[in-house]
Amino acid sequence: MGEYQRGEYTISTNPARLDIEAIYGYLSRSYWAAGRPRETLARAIQHSLCFGVYKGAEQVGFARVITDYAVFAYLADVYILEEHQGLGLGKWLISVITSQPELQGLRRWLLATRDAHGLYRQFGFTELQAPERWMERMKANL
């Protein structure tokens, strides 16, 4: 488990520190996860590499990576609480995630975003090079 300090903020991969209620509180009002049942979120967190962002004991941000640790990773549920935005915490979080030793050498990272393309481009993410090859099977609110 890793822990990273920057001023009064900490990023931790320790699952015991995660505040599931705080994460659910934010995600339940997000454009991408509204309507997702709490039990589904808890199961997703249990099976992901999670990164909590904390100011003291308060969870102020979160992200999770779904990965096989060999060739593929999907970055999901990334957020920083509004009152902590503008401090570079999002950039720091993505930097910590993409520099994790166990995630190096992956062939492909994916993510979906409606409005944060500029942030992710700073870390090498681009639009799909061959979108015609990709398909999805989507179920609402899961």
Provide the b/e sequence for 39-63 (b: ≥16 CB within 10 Å): eebeebbeebbbbbbbbeeebbbbb
Which amino acid type is present at position 61? Answer: G
Per-residue confidence band for 77, with pLDDT thresholds at 50, 70 and 90: very high
Give the count of beta carbons closer than 10 Å to the beta carbon of residue 103.
15
Bridge partners, residue 3, by sequence: 12
Residue 54's pLDDT is 98
- Residue 114 pLDDT > 60: yes
Residues in the chain: 142
Question: Three-state SS for 52?
Answer: strand
Q: Which two tokens stand for residue 5?
A: 């300090």
pLDDT above 80 for 1: no
